[in-house]
Chains A and B, each alone.
Chain A
């Protein structure tokens, strides 16, 4: 069995920490941009030196949604793999190789954005055109992450060879599912970047097929959000139970949920393109139905978490319908931060169901409601869980302790974040329903009457955003404190065990060929015909526009 509380070996710790530095520095830069955005949008601030609002927004989206998340996740997953199945010297070398490629790509892209040569936002929709190094850098990030994927696959493979007939450790299983999802999904974005956008940006071709590139982007874009969410679920399913002094409710249920996420998070990208002409509505409908399938593993997760909490609370002697809530360690930030994240997922997930519903998508599409939505999902649920992980992961890697003081500061950080986000995201949701657009700098829209309804909410967003920025400063301080200043000691690496009452995990849950087969079949089913259709009926390609938004 896994020995708890013993941290990783020094070399693995260094590898994970390298990822964490990038993640937390990104958090700071991205957060600063976020604050500036809210100030500009509310008419409070005019950017100096001719800096464009869209340049800020590109930095914000790229560095938070693409850089912070990817580095944190890959680093965290290496920690989990190293802990549960081990890491050989060769595997560690390849992990470092992937890290350096990702970092090189990140820096390349960042420089391009900072020079103002890539005001294309983090979705880089054609026909907005960036300087080639923007795309080349992103392609390198993806290639580096693939090295991470194959390192993880290899780790589990080697472990299975050494443990014939045993089921893989739950967390290793989950990591491999997430990396499979990532690998399959990034094939789409790599295709549009390498085949379409780089040659076009280099001037080798004059035009680009816009709908093809957007379709390939969203083939990647939706699983991207599950790539963010699944590491949070790893912590919820397999780490939180340990922190609260309980057991994993059901190993099979956890694996089943992950398998369902793998199958149903890819063949659904059209739900981001519902308003787009040129895609057959029948296939939009089919992909919306497939989208709704992910509600199943989501509710399985909700059930599983509540059950873990209730069983644990009751085993500690708390009774009554909701008395077990008192049995939870509310004052332990390792629990509190992810718990606030989980609670946030209730409105966040609900918003997602609304977004994906064809008719309602027309109400919210491209409004700031959408921005409000994903600041709840990734910007709160996922991020607060990542913070919750950091409180034990960082000290356990650096050989220090999570002190009482940091625990308290972390609690404050969580509350500040939840409070600031409620204000910012809440007003984004309402303004969106009133029609306020996302991705737009300050404007009075020619004195339009409707636009005057929005300004109060923009100011509320700036207030919420300022509170959030305090949260960012707190978290970055906590991070560096845990790395350099906290007292030396040993911090537990909490991994939960499965409850004795859980049914044994059936073998078929680890039938990788079956799950990959179904996943690929679903993708081919959902995309082949409409994609051929899109190519077949394409309008003429578009030239590039690199000066349209400044």
Chain B
């Protein structure tokens, strides 16, 4: 397996959708976290 991967041309994949998706997940986590944090602060 390592053989054929080493010398094949390393064309770059287009991973823009992946980037946006993962950033979206990150944003979702941060927003949810702050919503509950606000609840903690308010109580």
Which residues on the A side are within 8 Å of B18 (C-beta)?
303, 306-307, 309-310
**A160 contacts partner chain B, Cβ-Cβ < 8 Å:** no
Which residues on the A side are within 8 Å of B20 (C-beta)?
321
A501 to B15, CA, bound (A): 14
Query: Interface majority SS on B: helix, strand, loop or mixed?
Result: helix
A357 to B28, CA, bound (A): 16
Q: Which one of B10, B26, B28 contacts A501 once the chains associate, using CB atoms below 8 Å?
A: B10
**A299 contacts partner chain B, Cβ-Cβ < 8 Å:** yes
Q: Which one of A321, A433, A500, A503 contacts B17 once the chains associate, using CB atoms below 8 Å?
A: A321
Which residues on the B side are within 8 Å of A309 (C-beta)?
18
Which residues on the A side are within 8 Å of B40 (C-beta)?
359-360, 362-363
A502 to B20, CA, bound (A): 22
A372 to B34, CA, bound (A): 19
B21 CB, nearest partner CB in chain A, Å: 5
Interface 0/1 of B9-42, CB less than 8 Å to A: 0110111111011100110110011001101100
Contact present for A321 and B16 (CB under 8 Å): yes
Which residues on the A side are within 8 Å of B39 (C-beta)?
363, 433
A497 to B1, CA, bound (A): 9
Say which size band chain A's interface belongs to: 35 or more
Given A299-B25, A504-B5; A307-B13 close (CB under 8 Å): yes
Which residues on the B side are within 8 Å of A299 (C-beta)?
22, 25-26
B1 CB, nearest partner CB in chain A, Å: 6
Stretch in A103-111, A265-273, A346-354, A441-449 with 4+ CB within 8 Å of B: A346-354
Given A310-B17, A363-B39, A504-B6; A354-B25 close (CB under 8 Å): no
**A482 contacts partner chain B, Cβ-Cβ < 8 Å:** no
Given A303-B18, A306-B18; A350-B5 close (CB under 8 Å): no
Given A302-B22, A354-B32; A502-B16 close (CB under 8 Å): no
Which residues on the B side are within 8 Å of A505 (C-beta)?
2
Which residues on the A side are within 8 Å of B25 (C-beta)?
299, 302, 346
A422 CB, nearest partner CB in chain B, Å: 16
Contact present for A306 and B36 (CB under 8 Å): no
Q: A306-B21, A322-B17 are in contact. List 19 more A-B contacts (CB 8 A).
A: A299-B22, A302-B21, A306-B15, A306-B17, A307-B15, A307-B18, A310-B14, A311-B13, A311-B15, A321-B17, A347-B32, A350-B32, A357-B37, A359-B40, A360-B40, A433-B36, A500-B8, A502-B5, A504-B1
